Structures are given as C-alpha cells and as structure tokens.
Amino acid sequence: MPLPATPPLDTVGLALLLWLGAYLLGGIPTGWIVGRALGVDLRQVGTGKIGTSNLFRNGGWLPAAIVGPLQFGQGLVPVWLAERAGAGMVVVAGAGLCAVIGNGWPAYFHYHGGRGVATATGAVSLWWLPGFAFLLAALGLGALARHSALGVLLGFLLLPLVLGLTGAPTAEAVTAVGVCICICLRRLEGYAGQRKDPSTQGQPRDSWWDRLLFDRRPGQRLVGPRNS
C-alpha cells in the first residue's frame, strides 16, 4: 500500500506561519493595554483577568466597548488571513483555534490570559454562517436570561454539533471541540490549587460545577483591589 504523499514544504511552512501568527495576535493583551492607558492594571483589580468583563467593572463601559471588538478581531483576522492566503480548511480552522489558545495562554503574560470568548466568537464568524448565527443566538439568550456565562458554555458546547448538522467542513466542526475545551479550561484555571490552599479554609465553598457553568468563584471580588 503506497504511503500518503508528504505535503510540500511550502504548504507546511505556510500553515506553521499562519498558526504562530494567530497565536501571537490572539495573545495581544488588548484589555490590559487599554486598562493601563487609563491607569488601571487589570491584574491587580477585580478578578485579576485581563479581558473585557474585568475592564468593564473596573474601567467603565467605554473602554470595554473598545476592547470587545478588538478581541473579536483577534479571532477574526487570523482566519481571514488564512483564507486570503489560500490555505486549506484544516489550516483555516486551526488559525482560529490558535488565536483562542493565544488569548487564553499568552506568552506575553506567562501564559495567564483571558477567557477567549470574544476571540473565539470572532474566529467562528468566518468559519460557517449558520454556526455563527447559532452562537450569537445562544449568547443573546444567555444575556437575556441573566446567565451570560451559561449561554456562552452551552453555545460553544453545542457548536460542533450545529456545525456538523448544517454541513460545515469537518475540520471546523472538530476544531470547535478544541475551542470549547479551551473555554472550559480557562474557567477551571487554578481550581485544584485553590482547593488545596490553606489560606482558603473557611471561605465559601468553591464548586467546580459553579465555575464551569456560571464562571463563579465564591468570595472573589469583582470591583476594586484584587483579593485573591
């Protein structure tokens, strides 16, 4: 049985270049940069996260309104560039995933980043229109029900199924699973270590279920100097 043909070196090199660029672009800490311009270090206030939600609570709606679209673009632009470069579906889908990984684990901040939701939504926007429409609907329903975090989780959990049922390329449906895993891991970041930390004894119970479904951490300050 003949062995599969080895991809041309230029194709492999293009894929690696696009994926690395997507990771680096996705990891740019836009929320932190805008916060610093306002004199606020997001790592030292509220949840300590460098994304839109923490910026909104500790910097106001205007800077958050600026950062939200920027983070959306951090997912959209790498996918758009991969498409413009004529890359295959695997490379295009992988560019979106790498941007999400960059946002959640940026090399610039010792691999401690944001939740990746806005960046992931930007990536999906160019993948498959029905999937993007479904994701927007899930996010919107979650916001209307005052459970945005739950809407986000359900949207990304069901996205691979929706992509598969609506005829999206297999590479995008499979990559959507990776995106969902990234979002779940970001919500559970530090859970095991915090449970073992003696300084947390006597504090309200921290449930992994609450973290995963509602992105909640009992006792965590949302506004003002960080307390954890």
End-to-end Cα separation, the chain, in angstroms:
59
AA letter at 166:
T
d(CA 53, CA 201): 28
Domain boundaries, the chain: 10-189+205-214
pLDDT given for residue 9 in this prediction: 42
Does residue 41 sit in helix, strand or coil?
coil
The pLDDT tens digits of the residues spanning 23-70 come to 999 999 999 999 999 888 888 888 788 888 888 888 888 999 999 999
DSSP state letters, 109-159: GTT-----HHHHHHHHHTT-HHHHHHHHHHHHHHHHTT-HHHHHHHHHHHH
Rg of the Cα atoms in the chain: 18
- The model's pTM: 0.86
Average pLDDT over residues 87-107: 95
pLDDT tens figures, 59-93: 888 999 999 999 999 999 999 999 999 999 999 99
